[in-house]
Structure 1
Amino acid sequence: MFICPYCARNFYRAPKFRAVSHIRFLNASPNSPAIDVYLNDRLMFRNLLYKYFSDYVTIPSGTYHIKVFPSGNTVNPLIDKSLFIPPEKIFTLAAINEYPNMDLLSIEDVRHPKIPDKAFIRFGHLSPEAPTLNVVLPNGNTLFSNVSYKQITPYIPVDPGTYTIEARSSSSDERILYVPNIRLRGDRFYTIYAVGNLSKPPELQVLIPLDGNSYIGS
């Protein structure tokens, strides 16, 4: 099973005299409730369900105090961290780990020169229970190897088209995830995020968003 939430261009205005960056938020914490995300005590993302992405927003570069609460609450944050956002970057900020022991992972949607008639993909391991993984095609070709929890691989170019992938344990080669019918378009950047659990709900699956480097600043 996979979910492919394509995010819209919905940006906040930022002061012109400061360099800006673009961020979105992903709730990848298994069994978490809907969450509210505050930046410097300002509500930025509201009622974000597990497996959902926010839209990208534009913010000035700088250090931000990030707090995450169960939606509708403002006491006892699930995440309470400071994070520097450098200028002219694109980030996906992910709530990870099992609820309620959530953590924050900052993932840069790295800008790359586009190659005509190529799609770019990478793999993000956000499943706290899953072992280190190899991501392979049904013909045995390996796309990504030895990807451990919280690791995000570099992008690689592939031909546009429809793909089936398998995630296999790097140590035993056991297939733990099978994902058919992944459609990839040319001149686009995608991250295949593995989320969920192996031994208990919610089940292991992938999310395949269109990354902001596909269109922000292009």
Structure 2
Amino acid sequence: MNKTMNMLHNQFIRKVMIYLYFPQFPPYMYRMAPIPSYVRILHASPDAPAVDVYANGNRIAQNLTYKNFTPYLPLTPGRYSILVYPAGTRETPVINTSLDVMPNANYTVAAVGMLKDIKALVVPDTALPLPTNRSQIKFVHLSPNAPMVDLTTSDGTILFRNIEFKEISNNLTITSGRYTIQARIAGTTQVVLTVPNVVVQPDKYYTIYAVGLVDQNPPLQVLIALDKASY
């Protein structure tokens, strides 16, 4: 008897919660609300202007400039038409692609390459369970004219090996702390970029993006971003 009463009570509470969330729907249409997925946009094209981004005709980013991210935006799972225009225009998109958003998933969509051949790169923000005082990092190579690189610590320890343009590394679990990170031409000790004092906090998820151009402007640099699972 108590078990039956508890079941009825839980069903009632669930229907009340759904009604409060979707009061426009009649009782026979009550369904559990879908769990949203989250997407953010990164402008990583070194010679592209500021852009506006549309998903299924709805503007999700306005005047997004090079090296900047949008916040994570909630999207219902499904297929989206993604159009990217120079900011303030709606005539000819510089990117016209589609994005399949899976349930309970997080993504970063990066505009990459030089403007003449700009493309969208979808970076899944996957998150592994973390032991105490550990963190997760991954590396994404978005520098159009940079060679294949190894990402290392200052003592030469290789974190990611042979990563080429538009490649996304595997996830790596590391000890939290302070690091000096270097990008080296793959298979060599030749350092093309050094990033000192990178603080990796415990129980956080990071993606390291290499952006910019080697020996040109804007210069080669890294963007270190917290992924959605960190929040």
Q: Which structure is higher in helix share?
A: 2
Per the alignment, residue 179 of structure 2 pairs with 163
Of the three residues 80, 92, 95, the one matched with 1:76 is: 92
Runs of 4+ in 1 over 6 A off after TM superposition: none
Per the alignment, residue 163 of structure 2 pairs with 147
Per the alignment, residue 114 of structure 1 pairs with 130
Of the three residues 184, 205, 208, the one matched with 2:221 is: 205
**Does the Cα contact within 8 Å between 2:83 and 2:96 map onto a contact in 1?**
yes
Per the alignment, residue 36 of structure 1 pairs with 52
Identity of aligned residues (%): 38
Amino acid paired to 1:142: I
Per the alignment, residue 132 of structure 1 pairs with 148
Amino acid paired to 1:25: I
- Match of 1:150, SS? coil
CA distance in 2 between counterparts of 1:16 and 1:92 reads 27
CA distance in 1 between counterparts of 2:34 and 2:80 reads 15
Amino acid paired to 1:78: V
CA RMSD of aligned residues (A): 1.7
CA distance in 1 between counterparts of 2:68 and 2:159 reads 25
Q: Deviations over 1:40-81 (max 9, x none)?
A: 111111111100000001110010000001110101101001
1:49-68 alignment to 2 at 5 Å? 49-68=65-84
CA distance in 2 between counterparts of 1:143 and 1:111 reads 17
Cα drift, residue 200 of structure 1: 1.7
CA distance in 1 between counterparts of 2:197 and 2:178 reads 6
Cα drift, residue 19 of structure 1: 4.1
TM-score for the superposition, normalised by structure 2: 0.84
**Does the Cα contact within 8 Å between 2:183 and 2:194 map onto a contact in 1?**
yes
CA distance in 1 between counterparts of 2:81 and 2:196 reads 39
- Match of 2:143, SS? coil
Higher RCO (CA < 8 A, seq sep 6+) = 1
- Match of 1:213, SS? helix
Amino acid paired to 1:144: F
Of the three residues 29, 32, 39, the one matched with 1:23 is: 39
